[in-house]
Amino acid sequence: MKRHVGIVGFRGYSGAELVRILERHPHVTPVLMEHRVDPDAPPFGWRPHPRVACTPEAVAAEGLAVVFLATPAEVSMEIAPAMLAAGAKVIDLSGAFRLRTTEVYERWYKEPHTAPALLAEAAYGLPEFCRSQIAAARLVANPGCYPTAANLAIRPLIAAGMVDRTAGLVCDAKSGVSGAGRKPTLKTSFSEVVENFSAYSIFDHRHTPEILQNSGLDEGELTFTAHLLPLDRGILETIYFRTRATRAEDLLAVYAGQYRDEPFVRLYPPGQAPDLRAVQRTNYCDIGVKLDGETGRAVVVSAIDNLVKGAAGQAVQNMNLVLGLEETEALL
Amino acid sequence: MKRHVGIVGFRGYSGAELVRILERHPHVTPVLMEHRVDPDAPPFGWRPHPRVACTPEAVAAEGLAVVFLATPAEVSMEIAPAMLAAGAKVIDLSGAFRLRTTEVYERWYKEPHTAPALLAEAAYGLPEFCRSQIAAARLVANPGCYPTAANLAIRPLIAAGMVDRTAGLVCDAKSGVSGAGRKPTLKTSFSEVVENFSAYSIFDHRHTPEILQNSGLDEGELTFTAHLLPLDRGILETIYFRTRATRAEDLLAVYAGQYRDEPFVRLYPPGQAPDLRAVQRTNYCDIGVKLDGETGRAVVVSAIDNLVKGAAGQAVQNMNLVLGLEETEALL
Amino acid sequence: MKRHVGIVGFRGYSGAELVRILERHPHVTPVLMEHRVDPDAPPFGWRPHPRVACTPEAVAAEGLAVVFLATPAEVSMEIAPAMLAAGAKVIDLSGAFRLRTTEVYERWYKEPHTAPALLAEAAYGLPEFCRSQIAAARLVANPGCYPTAANLAIRPLIAAGMVDRTAGLVCDAKSGVSGAGRKPTLKTSFSEVVENFSAYSIFDHRHTPEILQNSGLDEGELTFTAHLLPLDRGILETIYFRTRATRAEDLLAVYAGQYRDEPFVRLYPPGQAPDLRAVQRTNYCDIGVKLDGETGRAVVVSAIDNLVKGAAGQAVQNMNLVLGLEETEALL
Amino acid sequence: MKRHVGIVGFRGYSGAELVRILERHPHVTPVLMEHRVDPDAPPFGWRPHPRVACTPEAVAAEGLAVVFLATPAEVSMEIAPAMLAAGAKVIDLSGAFRLRTTEVYERWYKEPHTAPALLAEAAYGLPEFCRSQIAAARLVANPGCYPTAANLAIRPLIAAGMVDRTAGLVCDAKSGVSGAGRKPTLKTSFSEVVENFSAYSIFDHRHTPEILQNSGLDEGELTFTAHLLPLDRGILETIYFRTRATRAEDLLAVYAGQYRDEPFVRLYPPGQAPDLRAVQRTNYCDIGVKLDGETGRAVVVSAIDNLVKGAAGQAVQNMNLVLGLEETEALL
């Protein structure tokens, strides 16, 4: 028997991707939950799905086991408590519950946190590192797209002491436009983006504290810069640091130890690096390493699809854990 | 001594292109006129230009010989009378003054015409056919982008009796996104346009009556369809009809007769057709012809840059005529 | 037990798409067949698949039930007889076996047909019209991409007498670049295609006789023009004709009668038309109709993904028929 | 009286850009020199220009004051001596004469240097730093695209002691596809590049020694990574280092001192950075700085058009110097 799961924000890019993925899930039926924040735009796709209002009553009436919030942080903070109270588990794709304290949240998001009581219980939804907490959680904070690609690449190396932290680590990140959401803005208009490329939010991107919190790096050790690519989907991060390792194989061995049984992390042969094509429309994070042995300079390339492993795919991976289903269901 | 000319709407794509072209004009200085309709966006470019409010007083104070209106039709209808009264000549890039009657305007634009008194005196700004009227006009209605490419291709053939009008003529038009203006909308958002292509406004595009009025075709003889290309600049129209001509050379001879002395219309050898690359960032309209002699089926391809010959370039061509300057100044 | 099927040309775009689709087919295992014509390029994807030489011996050794030829026509003409002789059924994605006579083939392909004996027995692989012949065939000629979109839109209307054939029908077709194959050429180089658009092969595209043969139109009644879009995947055709119908609903009723039970043809509400986004990465052909009742002018828009319904997806649909499997397997 | 200048390789992207720029130069007439290495492709543009063979006799007959070589390095090494012997000055856009020793050349270019005698006399064509040598030179080695953007940003800071060289400097560079030249390859095919992004030549890009030689950095202090953007024109480099400066203004003051009188370097206000749109189709290099004062981490963004300041524009700037003309002629 299929479980019903609700999706708030199904007209946005992440929400629509959620519907698409869940349409091929054998054990789950998506229920579209109408909410005022949805952009005034037709939903994607074709198959008819049940539609309900985004209310606690609908959670009960539809027997929703999980509700996905593909909504802005301020909306998630408003909806999440009500959905939890109605008995659903919540997987939130916004930044509302990713940071551990309201202080850090308010410093980087420049707005008050309106549901601080939930911060303590939210599990950070990076299954490769938080699998058991996710499986036990009522509320999962699905990671940001940049932090997913960054932390899968950085965290094992920090833990293994492979990064010279005094010299610092640079994460030069590039993202497709869908990461900015579906609300029309001048910055994401076609004629502004096509044949263009730019850096943005240098030193003050909201994803910075999320990378810090989960990578093991301290502030001041990480320089993170986001760039906007003239393409729709995908994030590629080029990561620079100094290491005591002398061969790419040394770093790859650390990754191999960490990710041996992980279905969604793929490692490249020494000296090779993924491009976006390799990961688009998949839930994979692909990682490659190149190293200059004489000087200990290392370059790691990490690539994901921002809407899949960086949002909806990872959210379904988390849902599978929360519901006790096969973790890879609908994702391979 | 340089003449001063005003530009209203200089933050939009056509207005910015006007500034760019006028920056290399030896006899004219652009003056940017601030107006509330301008999008909340930084203006383009770098060189400092005088800025004034969009008022009759500014026209007098700056001694503006010409004011360009790169504004929506409803704004142009509001501003044009005041600018004219202040003594400037007006070149309007909107659809406000292109159609001859308020009836036709209101049928296609679905809004009342608020400056009907000016319709009679407005010259239609297609220099290849209306040069003397433009030179003598106070108000020039700069042609629409689609009609410019269409009428330069169609009108000489209709006049020469080369089109079988009972069988009808099809104009399948494709435009880059800048033609939709700079205001952010979902339809022109990067992630909606990239890797996509669509037809729009089938049978009811506002440029249809403008093509009819200036081509010699009657309603019912013309089928015009617009499409949105995933690129920034350019219009290419593929035009289909039956003809009594038996060789491409026959139609090309008609064009050659019409355009022999025209600086901005280029003809291709028989059987060859322009692509957009040939015309981008130029004021040219390029035309190619292919013909199946046995059946009399003809295909004409007409290409322009929608922001240049389809908007700002043609507006400067008209300004040169209005001011008695060399018609090609700043445009070659 | 899974059937083994061979793929020749798996490094090309259609061949790679075949592998991708077959990877999710529950009853079939893809076997990659190495052939000298394959571009010197890494194959796509990640999963390991059996690899064999493209020889009759391999067909026997692997027990290949079907061999897909994703190869140029001249290669298909060379390989197909050997594969058939070795006992495999063949689904050919090239133009080698689509036309009924060597005369027509040689006129349009400008090269001799080297396997004329197979022309008579080849089934044309458009399941919506040739389902029973396909199921019984040893050799299936998978349709061209442009003809698939064209004939699904045109053929029912011709059969129902809904097109004024004396006035002729125009098919203005636009395709993404992947339709040109993976061999590097100047015409398909990034910097030549991006921000560009062009018509090509006016009056002499090789797909013209294939549309004629299967639509019911006679030569001289059809004007077909291909255009190259600056995008990767998708074909959209805008089709113009005069009709005795007076409402879009009349034509849609013809389509509904024809396609009522077809899983891969979707009809749009009157006046609405598909864009490429609706069909990309699907095996659907989407059709929309708009009609001017007063003059009987009709515009039909037909859209497919050129690599799926226009190539690999339709080939798998045909394979399902040939092997007696569910026709939609791996395609929904 | 106009000077005649020859262009070898005028069918490539840099060569075509040279023609375009020289067409608007008031003191120079371009002469197209046919050479076997030119791709089998139509030249760009429309205006008729004199065409001659690429021979010493043509240099004499046409009285060519300068010959531009927009050719691969191995071709430039072959042609340059003959052109010089015939009395022309040579501006070479390849990497043939940029490095000071054959050893370095052969290590990075993996091929023998066949004109070593010219290395000593070649002036490095970065006018902002080598103006007087260029003006006096017979042979100018026009800088590579990546090194131009890199060295204009890095060199003043190194000279001023503003970079902590022990911690190293990272240059994360992204380029449009035209930088790879016009020869069709799989890597630059449209369907491979569009919607894709990748790093390449990590640690072993040929431009690395050129940056080292001219920036003041030593090997091991610089980590340079190139990436391929899905766009036609432009290079943006994001440069990371530690500094003793505490405010962006400190670094901008260094640049301002260096570039006060430079016509083609533009500085941004503190904390702001250029995008590619700002520099496309211009000869400008735009530089922006952001700095975290507490930790001394600096991010510098440098942007150019790879075909203009990164190739043809800078070549014309050098030609102006060589011929004693106004340095900015045809470039503003």
Chain D residues with beta carbon closer than 8 angstroms to that of B46? 266, 278
In this prediction, residues D119-147 reach a mean pLDDT of: 98
Q: Is A44 an 8 Å CB contact of chain B?
A: no
Banded model confidence at residue B1, pLDDT cuts 50, 70, 90? confident
Neighbours of D301 (CB within 10 A): 25
Q: Is C20 an 8 Å CB contact of chain A?
A: no
Token pair listed for D306:
């790879």
Interval A111-161: pLDDT, tens: 999 999 999 999 999 999 999 999 999 999 999 999 999 999 999 999 999
Would you say residue D300 has pLDDT above 60? yes
In this prediction, residues A303-328 reach a mean pLDDT of: 98
Burial C238-253 (b: 16+ CB within 10 A, else e): bbbbbbebeebebbbe
| Chains in contact with D, counting 3 or more C-beta pairs less than 8 Å apart as contact | A, B, C
Q: Which of D46, D195, D266 sits opposite B195 (nearest CB)?
A: D195
In this prediction, residues D308-315 reach a mean pLDDT of: 98
In this prediction, residues D231-237 reach a mean pLDDT of: 98
Per-residue pLDDT, C107: 96
Chain B residues with beta carbon closer than 8 angstroms to that of A230? 190, 194
Please give, rounded to a whole number of angstroms, the shortest distance from the CA of A277 to a CA of chain C: 10
In this prediction, residues A7-16 reach a mean pLDDT of: 94
Q: Is B42 an 8 Å CB contact of chain A?
A: no
Q: Is D39 an 8 Å CB contact of chain C?
A: yes
Q: How many inter-chain contacts (A to D, CB under 8 Å) are there?
A: 133
Interface contact D231-C177, CB threshold 8 A: no
In this prediction, residues D56-81 reach a mean pLDDT of: 97
Banded model confidence at residue C48, pLDDT cuts 50, 70, 90? confident
Residue from A13, A23, A44, A46 whose CB has the most chain C CBs within 10 Å, to mutate: A46
Interface contact D238-A225, CB threshold 8 A: yes
Per-residue pLDDT, D48: 78
Per-residue pLDDT, C39: 59
Would you say residue C43 has pLDDT above 70? no
Rounded Cα–Cα distance for residues C54 and C251 (Å): 47
**Residue B152: phi, psi to the nearest 5?**
-60, -30
Q: Is A205 an 8 Å CB contact of chain D?
A: no
Indicate the average pLDDT of chain A.
95
Per-residue pLDDT, C251: 98
Q: Which of C192, C297, C301 sits opposite B168 (nearest CB)?
A: C297
CB C195 within 8 A of CB B231: yes
Rounded Cα–Cα distance for residues B86 and B17 (Å): 25
Q: Which of B174, B199, B290 sits opposite C202 (nearest CB)?
A: B290
| Chains in contact with B, counting 3 or more C-beta pairs less than 8 Å apart as contact | A, C, D
Interval C273-316: pLDDT, tens: 999 999 999 999 999 999 999 999 999 999 999 999 999 999 99
Per-residue pLDDT, A166: 93
Q: Which of C195, C266, C278 sits opposite A195 (nearest CB)?
A: C195
Would you say residue D46 has pLDDT above 60? no
- Residue in chain B nearest A40 by alpha carbon: B186
Interval D173-214: pLDDT, tens: 999 999 999 999 999 999 999 999 999 999 999 999 999 999
Indicate the average pLDDT of chain B.
95
Would you say residue D37 has pLDDT above 80? no
Interval B18-36: pLDDT, tens: 999 999 999 999 999 999 8
Q: What is the DSSP string of C28-71?
A: EEEEEEE-TTS-SSPPS-SS---EEESSHHHHHHHTEEEEEE-S
Q: Which of B192, B198, B275 sits opposite C198 (nearest CB)?
A: B275
Would you say residue D301 has pLDDT above 70? yes
- Residue in chain B nearest D43 by alpha carbon: B278
Q: Is D266 an 8 Å CB contact of chain B?
A: yes
Q: In the annotation, is B145 catalytic?
A: yes
Rounded Cα–Cα distance for residues B282 and B313 (Å): 8
Percentage above 70 pLDDT, chain C: 97
Would you say residue C44 has pLDDT above 70? no
Instruction: Give residue C286's identity as a one-letter amino acid code.
Output: D
Q: How many inter-chain contacts (A to B, CB under 8 Å) are there?
A: 64
Please give, rounded to a whole number of angstroms, the shortest distance from the CA of D10 to a CA of chain B: 17
Q: Is A277 an 8 Å CB contact of chain D?
A: yes
Looking at A54, A130, A145, A171, which residue is catalytic?
Answer: A145
Banded model confidence at residue D152, pLDDT cuts 50, 70, 90? very high
- Residue in chain D nearest C195 by alpha carbon: D232
Interval C64-89: pLDDT, tens: 999 999 999 999 999 999 999 999 99
Indicate the average pLDDT of chain C.
95
Q: Is C261 an 8 Å CB contact of chain A?
A: no
Per-residue pLDDT, D187: 95
Q: Is B266 an 8 Å CB contact of chain D?
A: yes
Q: Hey, what's the torsion of the CAs at D34, D35, D39, D44, to 10 degrees?
A: -20
Per-residue pLDDT, A46: 56
Neighbours of A192 (CB within 10 A): 24
Interval B314-323: pLDDT, tens: 999 999 999 9
CB C129 within 8 A of CB C147: no
Interval B193-226: pLDDT, tens: 999 999 999 999 999 999 999 999 999 999 999 9
Interval A253-291: pLDDT, tens: 999 999 999 999 999 999 999 999 999 999 999 999 999
Per-residue pLDDT, B41: 58
Highest mean pLDDT among A17-21, C33-37, D34-38: A17-21
User: Under DSSP, is residue D122 helix (H, G, I), strand (E, B) or coil?
Assistant: coil
Interval A63-82: pLDDT, tens: 999 999 999 999 999 999 99
Token pair listed for B312:
């700002």
Q: Which domains does chain B have, with CATH numbers?
A: 3-143+310-322 (3.40.50.720), 145-306 (3.30.360.10)
Q: Which of D57, D62, D75, D74 is nearest to D28 (CA)?
A: D62
Rounded Cα–Cα distance for residues A310 and A280 (Å): 11
Would you say residue A230 has pLDDT above 70? yes
CB C8 within 8 A of CB C70: yes
Interval B52-96: pLDDT, tens: 999 999 999 999 999 999 999 999 999 999 999 999 999 999 999
Would you say residue D220 has pLDDT above 60? yes
In this prediction, residues C196-200 reach a mean pLDDT of: 98
Interval B223-260: pLDDT, tens: 999 999 999 999 999 999 999 999 999 999 999 999 99
Per-residue pLDDT, A109: 96
E strand map for chain A: 3-8, 28-34, 51-53, 64-69, 89-92, 123-124, 139-141, 169-175, 198-200, 222-228, 235-242, 265-267, 285-292, 297-304
Q: What is the 3-state secondary structure (H, E, C) of C157-224?
A: HHHCCCCCCCCCEEEEEEECHHHHCCCCCHHHEHHHHCCCCEEECCCCCCHHHHHHHHHCCCCCCEEE
Q: Which of A271-280, B67-76, D41-50, D131-140 has the lowest mean pLDDT?
A: D41-50
ipTM: 0.96
Q: Is A188 an 8 Å CB contact of chain B?
A: yes
Rounded Cα–Cα distance for residues B232 and A79 (Å): 40
Query: Measuring CA to CA, how many Å separate C42 from each of A283, C9, C11, C12, C72?
Result: 22, 12, 7, 10, 19
Rounded Cα–Cα distance for residues C192 and C62 (Å): 43
Q: Is A201 an 8 Å CB contact of chain D?
A: no
In this prediction, residues A166-174 reach a mean pLDDT of: 96
Banded model confidence at residue C1, pLDDT cuts 50, 70, 90? confident
Interface contact A232-B39, CB threshold 8 A: no
Per-residue pLDDT, A36: 80
Instruction: Give residue D211's identity as a one-letter amino acid code.
Output: I
Phi-psi region of C197 (alpha: psi -120 to 50; beta: other; left: phi over 0): beta
Chain B residues with beta carbon closer than 8 angstroms to that of C170? 170, 172, 240
CB A222 within 8 A of CB A153: no
Interval B258-313: pLDDT, tens: 999 999 999 999 999 999 999 999 999 999 999 999 999 999 999 999 999 999 99
Chain B residues with beta carbon closer than 8 angstroms to that of A40? 186
Please give, rounded to a whole number of angstroms, the shortest distance from the CA of B114 to a CA of chain A: 30
DSSP state of C9: S
In this prediction, residues C198-223 reach a mean pLDDT of: 97
Q: Which of A69, A24, A14 is nearest to A312 (CA)?
A: A14
Chain C residues with beta carbon closer than 8 angstroms to that of A197? none
In this prediction, residues A153-177 reach a mean pLDDT of: 97
